[in-house]
Amino acid sequence: MVNQSPVETALSRAMIRWSLTKSVPVAETPRSWVFRVEQNGRNFAAIKILKPAVSLEEGRGARLLSWYGGDGAATVFDIHGDTIFMEWLDGGTLGDAVRAGRDEEASIALAGVVGNLHRPREDAPDDLEPLRQRFEVLFETDVRAWPHTARDLYARCAGIALKLFDKPMPQIPLHGDLHHDNIISSDRGWLAIDPKGLIGDPHYELANAFRNPVGAGKLAADPRRIAAMADIFAVRLGLNRKRLLGFAAAHSGLSVCWDLAAGNPITADLAILPNLLSAYDQA
């Protein structure tokens, strides 16, 4: 008998545990393996097996996804160790809508998803990562890691972030990575996947949307788009427009720090950041 790999073993155990059939590999990401499976020979479902290196963070996200109870998010049926048994979603993403020229529609849909995710619920998971802790990377980065011409941008992002954290705000569970391609169309409406599992200021939840979706860099840097998004989010969610823009800028700075540490290009954020900061100043 051929020795099974750890992922094959986890998959076969999941198939037995939840009485599933016909597994088809769908994706391998840096964080997980995803399989489409059949339930009762009728419905599709998904099995997501977390990679050991990220299972702590991803497990936290999976427990938050489960806590949403399918309201604004994909339904989690069960979690066992590092294996998640969940709803199968194969519709298009909000990113597809933006790339097809329907940006305003996508922003309105995104606000709707956040409204559902932020609905008060009992008994939130107790291991969510504090938002302030997530920003430590921004505060601890040596400014000399940034290109010479962009160091003033770094200083502004760090300053705005400190100011935002200085003001006490409600602390609520946050998806923490809500961008257009993490929101998928389904017969139940638009649903979020892949949360990070944070806790903090609700204004942060929209921050990543300003930098997205992938392939729309020119649009993301457009001051008119930044203003329109901030308007939609502030009005539809009853949030403070200046705080939304402050977190968008601070998060863009945080993303640059992550990318510099990982050796990834930072040109997209450096194109967006001056316009986010200018929108923040004017708000």
Catalytic residue set: 177
- Distance separating alpha carbons of residues 109 and 103, to the nearest angstrom: 10
- Distance separating alpha carbons of residues 48 and 44, to the nearest angstrom: 13
Of residues 177, 192, 184, 170, the one with CA closest to residue 69: 192
10 Å Cβ neighbour count for 42? 6
- Distance separating alpha carbons of residues 156 and 270, to the nearest angstrom: 13
How distant is the alpha carbon of residue 7 from its chain centre?
A: 25
Of residues 155, 174, 245, 188, the one with CA closest to residue 74: 188
- Distance separating alpha carbons of residues 223 and 240, to the nearest angstrom: 18
